[in-house]
Every structure is written in structure tokens, then in C-alpha cells.
Amino acid sequence: MNLSVVARNIGIALLSNAVFMFLGVIVSIVYGFDSSFSPLLLSGVITLIAGLFPLVFVRKSNSINAKEGFTIVVFAWVLSCLFGMLPYVLWGGEFTLINAWYESVSGYTTCGGTILSDVESLPKGLLFWRSSTHFLGGLGIVVFMLLVLPSVSSFSKRLKDVETSSLSQENYRFRTKQTIYVMFSVYFGITIAETLCLMLAGMDFFNAINHAFSTVATGGFSTLNDSVKGFDSVLIEYIIIFFMLLSGLHFGLIYSSVTTRSLKIFRSPVVRYYIACVFVFSVAIAVNLLAAKVETNWGEAISHSLFQAVSVSTSTGFATSEISTWPNFAMLLMLFLMIQGACSGSTTGGVKADRFLIFFKSIKAQLKKYVHPNAVMPVKVGKHTVDYDLVSSVNLFILFYFLILFAGTLVLTLLGVGMEDAVSSVISNTGNVGVAFGEVGSFGNYGYFPAAAKFVLALLMLIGRFEIFSFIVIFVIYKWR
């Protein structure tokens, strides 16, 4: 293994973190040198030195293979989380070591779960840093590094396969460098557009940029204890609904639609399936809320059900309503959306709508096969036939996903977490959603969980972000030749 190329690229990842720490220092200065100034400044200096060290003292190398690519991915994520927890630890408050680790991992994996009982008690600089970890983690440290690595063309596909699902490639074909440009163009475009829209709706710049960071990364960290509900604005809620939904779509398809000024994005069967799921489930939940008298009028029922359905399906985790008080039927639909997620090629978590669509299509084909044993029943998504290997891979992925959910729930119950909290928290953290049922709910936190349970949940976040198979490869990487 070429350790020099691994070290240098991890250094670049750490430098990106240092930049945002120093931006947090500037925010702290703007708000009167608040209490986050020293923690962020010291953390930024430490991270800067750590990032510069391999770039200065390690020789330059342009070659990289898949084994080194995976190693870069793993250590970039883990070290970013470790250095990213420094501002929390140095600031103190509720941030014990395990709490700071959980908060940092939650930020970089764009999960959005928190251990904080009072988010609003954090100084502005630390709130900005907290949202920045979403922004950095949103596209992924790997994609970020691809922009600055000199040997991008020789290894980008290997790294891209680690970081993103490839199931939407039938609808999206760009060369490697174009892909990087497209992802960043859409990512920054959505961030800027949402910031401006939120400011026009009455939100100040600080809150607008923080919520835009969280939305485009489908993260969920808010600057308020009551999340989006705290703004008490229907207009702001619908603006965030729109941008959450947009951030859950394939960035390549968004780019193609914008540049061609067409609605070709809706030609994608995956997009149509995903949007249909969200709106059908939203209506079903609204009817259930009205029938159970949780809501008293159609307007609020639709608004709350739509917001929460989009929020959990995109794994964002913003909230306007307490979902833990909803009827069981509504909560089960929400659990399905948490597990399924949105489209691949975005920053969302979960299994991904692409995989579920292929899974359902394969079931349909198999049922037809039982009726017509001698017939050839291909699995088709739109006009494209999905090859057998991909179908098998998808089905195996979903099986592994549910096994991990079961194992995670089993461990949490052994650690003393109640069944409802354990099941929903494992599903939420593995899917990088953040919100859960039980005591955590939409506006609660994971602070009351045992330290060991927080560690397990942080591990599940990383497994979910690495999309399971890539995580498994980490443990057999030494066998690669």
C-alpha cells in the first residue's frame, strides 16, 4: 500500500475541516467574541497542523489503487469525526467525550441526532461549526477530495463507488470530472438558493445559512430547540419542504434538468416512484391524524404529514410536529420511509428508493415466474433491463440492512434501552435520519442513552453512511492484492 498518497489525501480532508473551523472563529468574532472563540481557534490550529504535516513532509505520489482508496475513505471519515469533536470537548457543557463523539459523527454522517437538551445554549460560533459538519459530510469527504487530488482521473470511480450508490447511473451519465463539477454545482446552488429564499421569508442570515447547510446535506441540525417549528412560519416550512425534497433527488438529474431547461428529471422511474411514495404516504398519514383527532383540520394535517414525510424520507430530520404522539399506523409508515430513504446520487441515507424499486420489481418478476415457469421474466426499471447480478446485489444489500437493524436493536436492548426507543433509534441512526419515537421523538435528544448505546449508535451511523458493503470491505481490505 502506498502510505504516502493515503497520508496526503487525509491531510487534504483535515485542511477542509480547519477552514470551516476558522470560519466559525469569524462567526464568533462577529457575535462579540462569544465563548466558542477559543475552542474553535485552538481546534482550527491543531487540525491545520495535522492536515499540513503530511502535505509538507510526505512525498508526493500520483498513483492510487482501490485498496488505498478505501483506506483514504475510512481514515478521512474517522479522523474528521475525531478532529471535529475538538471544539465540543474544549467548549465543555454537555459535551463529555462520548457525547462529543456522537455529535461529531452525527454531523459528518448527516444523521442529525443530538445529545443536547438545549441547542440554543450553544454560542453562535459553535452552532455554525455544528451545521458545517453537515455541509462537509453532505457530499462526502471523498467527493470533496476528488476536486483537489491531482490523480483524479485514475481512481475517481473507485472512490465514487465507495461513497455513492451507482443505481441511478442508467439515468445519469457524465465523465468523472463532469460528475464532480455537477455534484458541487448542484450542492452549492441549492445552498445559495435556499439561503436567499429563507431570508426573503423573514429568517435572518445566520439561521438561514445554518438551515441551508442542514437541508442540502439532508442532515437536520437546527439552531432552535423546536427545530423548524420554532420559526412559527408556514412559508418557511414549505420552503424547507421544497428544498428537502430537491436535495433527496439525484443531483445529476437535477443538473441535467436545469441546464436543458426541461423536466427530464420526472422521466426517471426512480424519481416518480419516490415522489409518489412521499405524497401517497403523506395523504394516508394526514387522514390517520384526522381520524385519530391528533389534528383538527385538513390544512395542518397535510402540512405536518407532508413536512415529516419529506423530512424522514430524505433523512433530514427537521421537525414541525411530534411524531412520537402519532397513531401507530402513521408511525409505521414513517418507519418505512426512514428505512427506504430517497434517491441515490444525493446526500440522503437509508436503503435508497432505487434499491427498493428494483427489489419490488424483482418480486413482481418472480411471482410471474411462478405462474409461467418456462418464461423469461427480466427485471425492468423503466425501459432498462436490470441485470441479474445487480438484482442479487440489491436483494443482498437489503437483507444485510435488516440484519444490521436487528443486531443493533438487540444490542441496545441489552444495554437497557426500551424496545420502542431501541427499534426506532437504530432505524433512525443507521438511516442517518436523527429523529425517532419514544422519548427521543422529534424534538428530544439521545443524551439520556447509556454511553455504550451512544457509541453503538455512532457506529451504526458510519455503517449507514458507508452503505454496509463498503464498511464490510474495511475488515477484509488486508486480503486485497
Q: Can you say which residues are annotated as belonging to the binding site for K(+)? A: 110, 219, 316, 432-433
DSSP 139-179: H-HHHHHHHH-TTHHHHHHHHHHHHS--TTGGG----HHHH
**Cα–Cα distances in angstroms (integers) from residue 254 to residues 34, 153, 182, in the given order:** 39, 24, 9
Q: Do 272 and 357 contact (CB within 8 A), yes or no? A: no
DSSP 364-427: HHHHHHHHSTTS---EEETTEEEPHHHHHHHHHHHHHHHHHHHHHHHHHHHTT--HHHHHHHHH
Q: Which of 262, 242, 136, 241 is nearest to 187 (CA)?
A: 136
- Give the whole-angstrom CA distance, residue 122 versus residue 473: 38
Sequence length of the chain is 481
Query: Based on C-alpha coordinates, what's the Rg of the chain?
Result: 22
- Give the whole-angstrom CA distance, residue 282 versus residue 271: 16
Lookup: cell for 291: 381520524
State CA 228 to chain mean position distance: 18
Burial class (CB within 10 angstroms; exposed 0-12, middle 13-18, buried 19+) of 260: exposed
- What SS3 state is found at 126? helix
- What SS3 state is found at 481? coil
Q: Do 354 and 167 contact (CB within 8 A), yes or no? A: yes
State CA 126 to chain mean position distance: 20
Q: Do 341 and 315 contact (CB within 8 A), yes or no? A: yes
- Give the whole-angstrom CA distance, residue 133 versus residue 335: 26
State CA 57 to chain mean position distance: 34
Instruction: State which H helix or E strand residue 328 sits in.
Output: helix 328-340
- Give the whole-angstrom CA distance, residue 273 versus residue 386: 16
Q: Do 17 and 84 contact (CB within 8 A), yes or no? A: yes
Q: Do 447 and 99 contact (CB within 8 A), yes or no? A: yes
Kindly give the interhelix angle for 451-465 and 66-84, rounded to the nearest 10 degrees. Answer: 140
